[in-house]
């Protein structure tokens, strides 16, 4: 980790090679910090991007006499919390839209749109959506039936909601 | 999506900022000087004796000054991304909140024990100019402080916002007290402690915008 201190110090001097090496090496660590606060795989990459941008903008705040790991960790935690706070309503909105569309499918309206939208997600995700949103099963029950872990079901469902939302809103 | 190559290409040599301790001392020193000048200007027009107060007055002000500095230092530490600094910031924030509320409660108790709070309330309601004095003395240092904190990396923006307003206006409150001829606890509560507390609480909701770049 001392290497990161050195790389950061050189980056502050404008050394692009050190900076590139640092940004590449630091990614697994940043992902681990984000994962501690959000196990949702689909958003980890988004937060990683925001954290890297924040690191770039906060480069002048790094004190080379202090731990680089601690500096990165605080930035990553902060960005994770910011992201979760600002996207909370969007994530639940995505689920709401999926709910609404599922209800409308029961009424035989907009079936065509929904069928098209469902083609955007994988077979597995379609199965999960049908089980959770039409059959009303919980993530745990769905996981048991599909022989998956509960968190994998939640992640797949979340990704599917996002895709459905994007498609249906266009 | 943030591309690493884009970040690398936009890299330039950066000028690192000083430690939060040095920055807090810089702000505190210069703000004290500025507030002193403004207070003397007010004093010049009102022609009052600046140092004719009881001992308790000086003790209370010394504690308030210490609390103000702790709040400011905590805000600076919170705006420095470092786990150790964040821990210290948290402790300082708790310390200054406890002491500030302690003094506020003591003042309130003092009013109550004097037994003439209702009577004093009626008289005190017209002294809103004291609040204007606090704002006049504390506005520039507070704005400067927000700008200094924005340059760093404010992590807990809402907490920093509260600490910023609490710290800078408490310091302004100390100076504005030298503009009063008499020491009056009810007056202190209504026109000094309470407005500062209300502004600090309000800042909780505005800090996100104020401290974002």
CATH of the domain at A76: 1.10.1740.10
Is residue A8 located within the same domain as residue A67? yes
Residue range(s) defining the domain that contains residue B190: 31-210
Specify whether A77 is located in the same domain as A115.
no
Instruction: Judge if A139 and A73 occupy the same domain.
Output: no
B154 compared with A113, residue with greater pLDDT: B154
Locate the chain B residue with the closest alpha carbon to A23.
B4
Distance CA(B81)–CA(B103), nearest Å, equals 31
CB-based burial, B72-91: b 16+ in 10 Å, e otherwise: bbbbbbbbbbbeebbebbee
For chain A, say whether B87 makes contact (Cβ under 8 Å).
Answer: no
Specify the pLDDT at position A96: 57
Assess if residue B122 is contained within a domain: yes
Give residue B198's pLDDT: 93
In a domain, B24, yes or no: no
How much is the mean pLDDT over chain A? 80
Query: In this structure, are A23 and A70 located in the same domain?
Result: yes
- B155 interfacial to chain A (CB closer than 8 Å): yes
Taking residue B7's Cβ as centre, other Cβ atoms within 10 Å add up to 19
Kindly state the average pLDDT of the residues B107-128. 69
DSSP states along A37-94: H---HHHHHHHHHHHHHHHHHTGGG--TTS-HHHHHHHHHHHHHHHHHHHHHHHHHHH
CB-based burial label for A68 (10 Å; 0-12, 13-18, 19+): buried
Q: pLDDT higher for B101 or A39?
A: B101
| Interface probe with A: pick from B13, B14, B81, B209, most Cβ of A within 10 Å | B81
CB distance B81–A71 less than 8 Å? Answer: yes
Q: What mean pLDDT is reported for chain B? A: 86
Q: What is the CATH number of the domain that holds A134?
A: 1.10.10.10
* Residue A6 shares a structural domain with residue A63: yes
Band (pLDDT 50/70/90 cuts) for residue B177 is confident
Q: Are residues A115 and A74 in the same domain?
A: no
pLDDT computed for residue A75 by the predictor:
93
- Residue A124 belongs to a domain: yes
Facing A49 at nearest CB: one of B1, B83, B155: B1
Q: B111 pLDDT exceeds 70?
A: yes
Residue B26 and residue A69 in contact, taking contact as beta carbons nearer than 8 Å: no
Q: Which of residues 92-151 of B touch A (CB under 8 A)?
A: none
Of B7, B17, B82, the CB nearest to A66: B82
Q: Do A20 and B80 touch (CB under 8 A)?
A: no
Provide the number of structural domains found in chain A: 2
Tell me what percent of chain A is helix, strand and coil, each rounded to the nearest 5. Answer: 80, 0, 20
User: Would you state the pLDDT for residue A73?
Assistant: 93
Q: Is residue B18 part of a domain?
A: no
Provide, rounded to the nearest whole percent, the portion of chain B with pLDDT above 90: 48
Instruction: Give the rounded distance of the alpha carbon of A68 from its chain centre.
Output: 25
- pLDDT tens per residue, range B7-32: 888 888 889 999 999 999 999 999 99
Structural domain range at position A137 = 110-169
Query: Chain A to chain B, count of Cβ pairs less than 8 Å apart?
Result: 79
Q: Band the pLDDT of A117: cuts 50, 70, 90.
A: confident
Same domain as A48, residue A11: yes
What's the number of domains chain B is made of?
1
Query: Which residue would you say has higher pLDDT here, B115 or B37?
Result: B37
User: Helix (H, G, I), strand (E, B), or coil: what is residue A151?
Assistant: helix
Which residue, A113, A49, A59, A102, is CA-closest to A80? A49
Q: With an 8 Å Cβ cutoff, are A23 and B13 in contact?
A: no
Query: Is A85's Cβ below 8 Å from some Cβ in B?
Result: no
User: Same domain, yes or no, for A14 and A75?
Assistant: yes
Q: Is residue B60 part of a domain?
A: yes
Among all residues of chain B, which has the CA nearest to that of A76?
A: B81
Q: Which of A87, A120, A141 is the last residue of a domain?
A: A87
Sign of the CA dihedral with A69 first, then A70, A75, and A81 last: positive
| A13 with B13: Cβ contact below 8 A | yes
Q: Quote the DSSP letter at residue B10.
A: T
User: Averaging pLDDT over each range in A118-127, A144-153, B132-141, which range is the top one?
Assistant: B132-141
- Spatial CA neighbour of A91 closest among A160, A163, A158: A158
- Shared domain check, A80 and A9: yes
B54-100 pLDDT, tens per residue? Answer: 788 888 889 999 999 999 999 999 999 989 999 999 999 999 999 99
- Domain annotation covers residue B89: yes
With CA atoms as reference, the chain A residue closest to B84 would be A70
| A92 in any annotated domain | no
DSSP labels for B157-173?
HHHHHHHHHHHHHHHHH
Distance from CA of B64 to the nearest CA of A (A): 30
- Does some domain include residue A95? no
User: Are residues A77 and A12 part of one domain?
Assistant: yes
Q: Which residues contact B47 (CB under 8 A, 6 or more apart)?
A: none
Q: DSSP secondary-structure letter at B152?
A: S
- Pick B111 or B27 by higher pLDDT: B27
- Among A2-6, B14-18, B95-99, B113-117, which is the least confidently predicted range? B113-117
Put simply, whether B80 touches A (Cβ < 8 Å) is yes
A15 and A81 together in one domain: yes
Contact status of B2 with chain A (Cβ, < 8 Å): yes
A136 touches chain B (CB under 8 A): no
According to the model, what pLDDT value does residue B4 have? 84
Residues A81 and A127 in one domain: no
Question: What's the pLDDT at A77?
Answer: 92
pLDDT, one tens digit per residue, over A17-70 is 999 999 999 999 999 998 888 767 778 888 898 899 999 999 999 998 888 999
What is the pLDDT at residue A139?
81
Q: What is the pLDDT of residue B128?
A: 74
| % residues pLDDT > 90 (chain A) | 25
Cross-chain Cβ contact A59/B14 below 8 Å: yes
In a domain, A105, yes or no: no
Q: How confident is the model at residue B181 (pLDDT cuts 50, 70, 90)?
A: low
């Amino acid at each position: 980790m001392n290497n990161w201190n050195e790389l950061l110090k050189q980056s502050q001097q404008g050394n692009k090679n050190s900076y590139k090496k640092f940004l590449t090496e630091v990614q697994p660590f940043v992902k681990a910090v984000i994962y501690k606060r959000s196990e949702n795989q689909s958003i980890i990459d988004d937060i990683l991007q925001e954290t890297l941008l924040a690191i770039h903008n906060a480069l002048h705040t790094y004190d080379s006499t202090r731990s680089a790991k601690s500096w990165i960790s605080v930035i990553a935690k902060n960005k994770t919390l910011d992201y979760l706070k600002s996207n909370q309503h969007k994530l639940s909105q995505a689920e709401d839209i999926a709910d609404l569309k599922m209800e409308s499918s029961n009424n035989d309206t907009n079936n065509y749109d929904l069928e098209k939208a469902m083609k955007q997600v994988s077979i597995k995700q379609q199965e999960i959506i049908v089980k959770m949103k039409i059959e009303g099963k919980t993530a745990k029950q769905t996981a048991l039936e599909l022989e998956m872990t509960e968190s994998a079901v939640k992640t797949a469902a979340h990704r599917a909601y996002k895709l459905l939302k994007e498609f249906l809103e266009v | 999506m943030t591309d690493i190559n884009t970040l690398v290409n936009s890299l330039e040599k950066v000028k690192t900022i000083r430690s939060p301790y040095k920055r807090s001392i810089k702000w505190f020193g210069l703000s004290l000087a500025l507030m002193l000048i403004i207070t003397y200007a007010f004093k010049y027009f009102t022609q009052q004796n600046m140092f004719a107060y009881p001992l308790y007055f000086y003790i209370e002000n010394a504690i308030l000054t210490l609390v103000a500095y702790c709040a400011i230092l905590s805000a600076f530490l919170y705006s420095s991304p470092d786990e150790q600094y964040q821990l210290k910031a948290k402790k300082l924030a708790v310390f200054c909140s406890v002491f500030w509320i302690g003094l506020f409660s003591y003042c309130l108790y003092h009013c109550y024990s004097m037994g003439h709070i209702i009577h004093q309330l009626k008289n005190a309601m017209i002294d809103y100019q004291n609040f204007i004095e606090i704002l006049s003395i504390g506005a520039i240092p507070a704005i400067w402080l927000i700008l200094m904190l924005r340059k760093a990396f404010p992590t807990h923006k809402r907490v920093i916002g509260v600490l910023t307003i609490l710290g800078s206006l408490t310091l302004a409150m100390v100076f504005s007290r030298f503009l009063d001829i008499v020491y009056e606890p009810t007056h202190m509560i209504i026109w000094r402690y309470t407005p500062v507390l209300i502004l600090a609480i309000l800042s909780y909701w505005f800090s996100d915008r104020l401290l974002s770049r």
